[in-house]
């Protein structure tokens, strides 16, 4: 299938789905309670039926085949993602390696699920052990800022462990999810194993969260929505994996390699136009280099091309929607009123980009940790530069937040780096880099950034439960 024909067919699917009856692959484009219920019924039937008879080896083979199909169709997937949510094609294409690595990681985990035996402490000829079993139906609710990759944290773990899925992608960006599910069926996945209900979070997402037939919820999104999911999930005591908001500290010491730290700290925020949950938006710079660092970063920001995301020379695309644009501009225009100094950017782009949701990569200097731009998640390309003097001081400032998703430090001194690693209260800490994620290691959050982990053994365990077994051999 060519890219053009695939895109035309996908857009046709989205249009035709509106008002049609449910199938095990898709429901109406604006899903309601009945659609969620039908999808859960399909997922439960698959879990208790054909899918339950698949061996770990068969699931591994399926994942390997899926990986090959994703690779063969990746140019199409990247274009779909760019058209749907605005990320530059250079970014969506660059996700290829990470996504293929994730799929292969989860394929390796199919054969790595094991319980344990223990010494016999009971009278008689009793053998005791524990085994791991799939929990059942997973409700996956994913965000709009990167569905092409974020869907695999749910799909990969479910297919590896033998669970089934009802996926609710964000209403602003659903197309790459629909196309991936089509590829899953092409690879030989049974009907009903993965189901998609498109629609609004307040309707379809809420219905999925409270549905008694859903055994687990995996959610990535805002802290506000996370609270609602926790409340809704109480109907049947669902366990949750939540990756929520962030206001991550990125700490630059005076001894850092500035040639690496300047672009590294800038792109820790400007990547994906700042629409990344663990973006290092609170940039703490040691006072002795603050002025130089801010100037160099402002000059770097000027080299970034903002524009048509289908242009291969563009590095930053538009924000996702008018609503998000209004939110980001409100923060930008309000920061100087609190005393912050605009060091670069700060406006919506005009000219040929005036009709789009484009904003300049923006840097504010002389920010204090109490300002609104330093306290609240903006989800746009806005950096708050906050000066500090000592390591102890910056740790106090870094941890003075309700969030705990990520953090980073730039320094040549390993003792300083380790002090920050151990002192920053966050689920992930980077040293002299930012945003790297290995599915074998994983990442997660603490405090109001959620709980649970993506990747690593803990991720797989969240899709399994332990079953104790006692055998009387007579």
Summarised one tens digit per residue, pLDDT across range 411-470 is 999 999 999 999 999 999 999 999 999 999 999 999 999 999 999 999 999 999 999 999
What per-residue confidence (pLDDT) applies to 44? 98
Query: Considering the domain boundaries, does residue 65 fall inside one?
Result: yes
What per-residue confidence (pLDDT) applies to 13? 43
Based on the domain organization, do 290 and 368 belong to the same domain? yes
Query: Considering the domain boundaries, does residue 427 fall inside one?
Result: yes
Query: Considering the domain boundaries, does residue 268 fall inside one?
Result: yes
**DSSP H or E run through 295:** helix 290-302
Instruction: Give catalytic residue positions.
Output: 243, 277
Based on the domain organization, do 222 and 343 belong to the same domain? no
Based on the domain organization, do 400 and 466 belong to the same domain? no
Based on the domain organization, do 54 and 147 belong to the same domain? yes
Q: Does 116 have pLDDT greater than 90?
A: no
Based on the domain organization, do 229 and 293 belong to the same domain? no
CATH code where residue 72 lies = 3.40.605.10
What per-residue confidence (pLDDT) applies to 114? 84
Give the model confidence (pLDDT) of 68-108 as tens digits: 999 999 999 999 999 999 999 999 999 999 999 999 999 99
CATH code where residue 364 lies = 3.40.309.10
CA–CA distances in Å: residue 381 to residues 173, 280, 348, 364: 20, 10, 11, 11
Give the model confidence (pLDDT) of 196-240 as tens digits: 999 999 999 999 999 999 999 999 999 999 999 999 888 888 899
What average pLDDT does the chain have? 92
Query: Considering the domain boundaries, does residue 418 fall inside one?
Result: yes
Based on the domain organization, do 265 and 197 belong to the same domain? no
Query: Considering the domain boundaries, does residue 373 fall inside one?
Result: yes
pLDDT band at 361 (very low <50, low <70, confident <90, very high): very high
Based on the domain organization, do 200 and 267 belong to the same domain? no
The domain of 134 spans 3-244+449-472
pTM of the model: 0.91
Give the model confidence (pLDDT) of 395-409 as tens digits: 999 999 999 999 999
Based on the domain organization, do 110 and 39 belong to the same domain? yes
Based on the domain organization, do 230 and 347 belong to the same domain? no
pLDDT band at 363 (very low <50, low <70, confident <90, very high): very high
What per-residue confidence (pLDDT) applies to 84? 95
What per-residue confidence (pLDDT) applies to 29? 58
What residues contact 119, with CB distance under 8 A and at least 6 apart? none
Give the model confidence (pLDDT) of 328-340 as tens digits: 999 999 999 999 9
What per-residue confidence (pLDDT) applies to 408? 98
Based on the domain organization, do 168 and 52 belong to the same domain? yes
Based on the domain organization, do 354 and 219 belong to the same domain? no
What per-residue confidence (pLDDT) applies to 24? 36
> What mean pLDDT do residues 150-171 have?
97
Query: Considering the domain boundaries, does residue 444 fall inside one?
Result: no
Count up the domains in the chain and report the number.
Answer: 2
Q: Are strands 450-451 and 464-472 parallel, antiparallel or unpaired?
A: unpaired
Q: Does 474 have pLDDT greater than 80?
A: no
Based on the domain organization, do 421 and 310 belong to the same domain? yes
């Amino acid at each position: 299938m060519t890219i053009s024909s695939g895109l035309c067919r996908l857009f046709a699917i989205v249009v035709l789905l509106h008002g049609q009856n449910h199938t095990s692959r898709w429901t109406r484009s604006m899903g309601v309670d009945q659609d969620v219920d039908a999808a859960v019924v399909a997922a439960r039937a698959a879990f208790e039926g054909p899918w339950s008879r698949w061996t770990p080896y068969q699931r591994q083979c399926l994942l390997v085949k899926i990986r090959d199909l994703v690779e063969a169709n990746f140019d199409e997937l990247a274009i779909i993602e760019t058209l749907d949510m605005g990320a530059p094609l250079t970014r969506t294409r660059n996700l290829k390696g990470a996504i293929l690595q994730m799929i292969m990681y989860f394929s390796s985990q199919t054969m790595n699920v094991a319980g344990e035996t223990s010494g016999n402490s009971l009278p008689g000829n009793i053998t005791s052990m524990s085994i791991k079993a799939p929990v059942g139906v997973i409700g996956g609710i994913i965000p709009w800022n990167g569905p092409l990759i974020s869907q695999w944290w749910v799909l990969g773990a479910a297919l590896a462990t033998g669970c089934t899925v009802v996926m609710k992608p964000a209403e602003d960006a659903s197309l790459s999810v629909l196309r991936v599910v089509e590829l899953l069926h092409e690879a030989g996945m049974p009907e009903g194993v993965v189901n998609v209900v498109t629609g609004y979070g307040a309707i379809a997402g809420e219905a999925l969260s409270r549905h008694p037939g859903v055994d687990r919820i995996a959610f990535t999104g805002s802290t506000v929505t996370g609270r609602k999911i926790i409340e809704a999930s109480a109907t049947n005591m669902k366990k949750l994996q939540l990756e929520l908001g962030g206001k991550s500290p990125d700490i630059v010491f005076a001894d850092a390699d500035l040639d690496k730290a300047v672009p590294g700290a800038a792109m820790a925020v400007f990547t994906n136009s700042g629409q990344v949950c663990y973006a290092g938006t609170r940039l703490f710079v040691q006072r002795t280099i603050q002025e130089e660092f801010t100037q160099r970063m402002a000059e770097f920001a000027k080299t970034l091309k903002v524009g048509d995301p289908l242009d291969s020379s563009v590095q930053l695309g538009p924000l996702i929607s008018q609503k998000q644009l209004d939110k980001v501009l409100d923060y930008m225009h309000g920061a100087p009123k609190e005393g912050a100094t605009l060091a670069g950017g700060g406006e919506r782009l005009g000219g040929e980009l005036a009709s789009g949701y484009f904003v300049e990569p923006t840097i504010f200097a002389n920010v204090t940790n109490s300002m609104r731009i330093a306290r609240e998640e903006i989800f746009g390309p806005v950096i708050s530069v906050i000066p500090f003097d000592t390591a102890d001081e910056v740790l106090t400032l870094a941890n003075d937040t309700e969030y705990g998703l990520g953090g980073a430090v730039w320094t040549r001194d390993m003792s300083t780096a380790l002090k920050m690693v151990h002192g920053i209260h966050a689920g992930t800490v980077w040293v002299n880099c930012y945003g790297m994620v290995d599915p074998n290691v994983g990442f997660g959050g603490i405090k109001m950034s959620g709980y649970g982990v993506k990747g690593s053994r803990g991720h797989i365990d969240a899709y399994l439960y332990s079953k104790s077994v006692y055998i009387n051999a007579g």
